[in-house]
Chain A
Amino acid sequence: MGVVTVDLKMLNVWVEGLIRGGRVFGVQAKNNRFQFAPLLMAANLRLDYDVTVIPPKKYMQPAREDLLTFEGAAGFETCLDQEPFILIGVHPYDVAAIAQMDAVFSGDNVDVHYMTRRKQATVVACDVQAASANVFAGCMGTATVDKGFDILLTRVGDHYVVDSRTHKGEVILGNLVKAPKADAVSLARREQVWEDNRKYLRKHELRMAPETLPTLLEASCDHPVWEEKSQRCFSCGSCNMVCPTCYCFDVRDDVRWDLKGGARVRDWDGCMLRDFATVAGGHNFRKNRADRYRHRYYRKGKYMPAKIGHISCVGCGRCISACVTKIANPVEVYNRLLEVR
């Protein structure tokens, strides 16, 4: 497995080849923003993007999917998406998030729907070239990544360094195996990109080491910030939906007009929504807005580290942009906890 350099023209030719070969999703411009979408031509790929509206989690866990279809007494059939696909342009913080989701969906009860898609995915990551308005990956240790991808692209001047790390990566390298090996200068420039990204992807500055969050939260249950901020919360769940490490879902049966057949459907759910914690009998164990608001920060900073060993915020900043009332900034909230009450 080698590290090679390719110029922009050659990169385009390579991407065109991938598109001809199968299902490719890449970052593209839409309505002044960026999104992952089916890539029809290499020229549409925007590796210079800042952030996408929705993270690439939608390819592993779609907003809505059929888990199984049923036909009354005839039984049911599990729905699995087995078609291979390639994701091009995944930023390091999203690579880190996918690794967390892998841990979640493969732990406890293995989620066969997620894992099937995940196994079919080849992840072509790309180092950040433009900082988004609210990114703080630099504070979360996710501005760069060393694993979790199949190929890593890094732009250095007028060419890219292409680093393939896995068998899946090798398989799609194609012509690029003939590209020149990256020389010392290119590698040094790549180091510089990494160093810069760690330093500059900090539009908000977390005033603590992320590892200390569980301890800080342990002592912050009754901090006034929860009540204060949540007064302006719509319980709209936007902060959940756009988050690459939010994976909660709801499951329902959709029965057809014949009242026999139908589909068991799951779609995204979010802990900020009023009825997220409503259970049988109509009891809601997080009925207050402030309880739900607090839960989101506890989950990211305390419950998830206990479960998978990582703070469940990768600093993409999407929630900060998505929140209409501007109260969803994790950095602002966590920093507030340091202040005297």
Chain B
Amino acid sequence: MSNPRVAIFDFACCEGCQLQVVNLEEDILSLIALVDPVEWREAMSDHSDSYDIAIIEGSITRPEDVDRLKTIRERAKILIALGACATMGGINKLKNNFDLKEVRQAVYGAAAGMAHLNTEPTRALDEIVKVDFKVHGCPIDNRELGAIIRCLIMGKTPVIPTYPVCVECKKNEVVCRYEFNEICLGPVTRAGCGARCPSRGFWCFGCRGYAEEPNVAAASDVMDHYGKTVEDLKSRLTLFVGQQEFPP
């Protein structure tokens, strides 16, 4: 059996998740032993239109992105969304809170009117095409990506946590941020990061998106108890999940 052909693409993003792939270091050799990379702008000069697995980083923010994404979807047997921008729109979705003309003006100033700087509301990949697997996080955890790829090659369904970050806090014996009267998004955020932020004394920013069936109403109900307001909570939700769409 020949190795699956893998292509990595990027849309609007900081390329930090691809960098995490590069950061696999010696494991990258193990990865390349299992797959044939045929296109990967950040790491190689080859180009190909024929691949089995497409790994896509970034969100869709321009009209021309939509066609490119659809073409990739047609060519790939399996499509993997890599990182928060691809899985839920990520930081790029902050722009959807504003008028697009103002956004263009603020970013490009006098050049804002130029045609190639056209922009549209940010969308995650699955708002346009079918996504088979999501590698969550900003940035992604490259060990999780490795595990997902190994599962796919073995024909197993990768297990991605559906529960909140709190589980991992407890496993690490972390004292909860709420015990310091701080708002943390962990109770509504998908685990899988190993509670990286709370374990180092920071509240959870929600970069892996909502857990399955997040109880956001419960989070706002409890703000009073910690001397906070629903507005405080909303201001934290804005960064990642504020604009997150739920699959139907």
A contact residues around B171 at 8 Å (CB): 63-64, 241, 267-268
Cβ proximity bits B57-80 to A, threshold 8 Å, 1 near / 0 not: 000000000000000000000000
Closest A-chain residue to B166, C-beta based? A236
A232 at the interface (CB under 8 A from B): yes
Task: Tell whether, in the assembled complex, residue B166 and residue A321 are in contact, meaning their CB atoms are under 8 Å apart.
Answer: no
Contact of B175 among A31, A58, A258, A274 (CB under 8 A): A31
Task: Tell whether, in the assembled complex, residue A273 and residue B150 are in contact, meaning their CB atoms are under 8 Å apart.
Answer: no
A contact residues around B147 at 8 Å (CB): 254
B contact residues around A30 at 8 Å (CB): 175
Question: Closest CB of chain B to A28's CB: distance in Å?
Answer: 12
Question: Closest CB of chain B to A162's CB: distance in Å?
Answer: 29
Cβ proximity bits B164-178 to A, threshold 8 Å, 1 near / 0 not: 101101111111101
Task: Tell whether, in the assembled complex, residue A255 and residue B170 are in contact, meaning their CB atoms are under 8 Å apart.
Answer: no
A contact residues around B217 at 8 Å (CB): 231
A contact residues around B179 at 8 Å (CB): 33, 321
Task: Tell whether, in the assembled complex, residue B34 and residue A257 are in contact, meaning their CB atoms are under 8 Å apart.
Answer: yes
Q: Which chain A residues numbered 53 to 67 have a C-beta less than 8 Å away from chain B?
A: 53-54, 58, 63-64
Question: Closest CB of chain B to A290's CB: distance in Å?
Answer: 12
Question: Closest CB of chain A to B130's CB: distance in Å?
Answer: 18
Contact of B213 among A31, A232, A235, A270 (CB under 8 A): A235
Question: Closest CB of chain A to B162's CB: distance in Å?
Answer: 5
A contact residues around B27 at 8 Å (CB): 257
A contact residues around B170 at 8 Å (CB): 54, 63, 237-238, 241-242, 268, 322
B contact residues around A31 at 8 Å (CB): 175
Task: Tell whether, in the assembled complex, residue A232 and residue B163 are in contact, meaning their CB atoms are under 8 Å apart.
Answer: no
Contact of B218 among A234, A242, A252 (CB under 8 A): A234
Closest A-chain residue to B215, C-beta based? A234
CA distance A81 to B126 in the complex (A): 46
Closest B-chain residue to A231, C-beta based? B218
A35 at the interface (CB under 8 A from B): yes
Task: Tell whether, in the assembled complex, residue A275 and residue B162 are in contact, meaning their CB atoms are under 8 Å apart.
Answer: yes
CA distance A234 to B214 in the complex (A): 7
B contact residues around A335 at 8 Å (CB): none
CA distance A63 to B147 in the complex (A): 20
B contact residues around A32 at 8 Å (CB): 175
B96 at the interface (CB under 8 A from A): no
CA distance A228 to B9 in the complex (A): 47
A324 at the interface (CB under 8 A from B): yes
Task: Tell whether, in the assembled complex, residue B176 and residue A235 are in contact, meaning their CB atoms are under 8 Å apart.
Answer: no
A contact residues around B166 at 8 Å (CB): 234, 236-238, 241, 324
Closest A-chain residue to B26, C-beta based? A257
A119 at the interface (CB under 8 A from B): no
Question: Closest CB of chain B to A31's CB: distance in Å?
Answer: 5
17 contacts between A and B (CB under 8 A): A32-B175, A33-B179, A35-B173, A54-B173, A58-B173, A232-B221, A233-B215, A234-B188, A234-B214, A234-B218, A237-B170, A257-B150, A259-B34, A273-B162, A275-B163, A325-B221, A325-B225
Known contacts A33-B179, A237-B167, A238-B170; 6 further A-B pairs (Cβ under 8 A): A234-B166, A234-B218, A236-B187, A257-B34, A324-B187, A325-B222
Point out residues on B near A: beta carbons under 8 Å.
Answer: 27, 30-31, 33-34, 146-147, 150, 153-154, 159, 162-164, 166-167, 169-176, 178-179, 186-188, 211-215, 217-219, 221-222, 225
The 6 closest A-B pairs by CB, nearest first: A241-B170, A257-B30, A63-B171, A236-B166, A234-B187, A232-B218
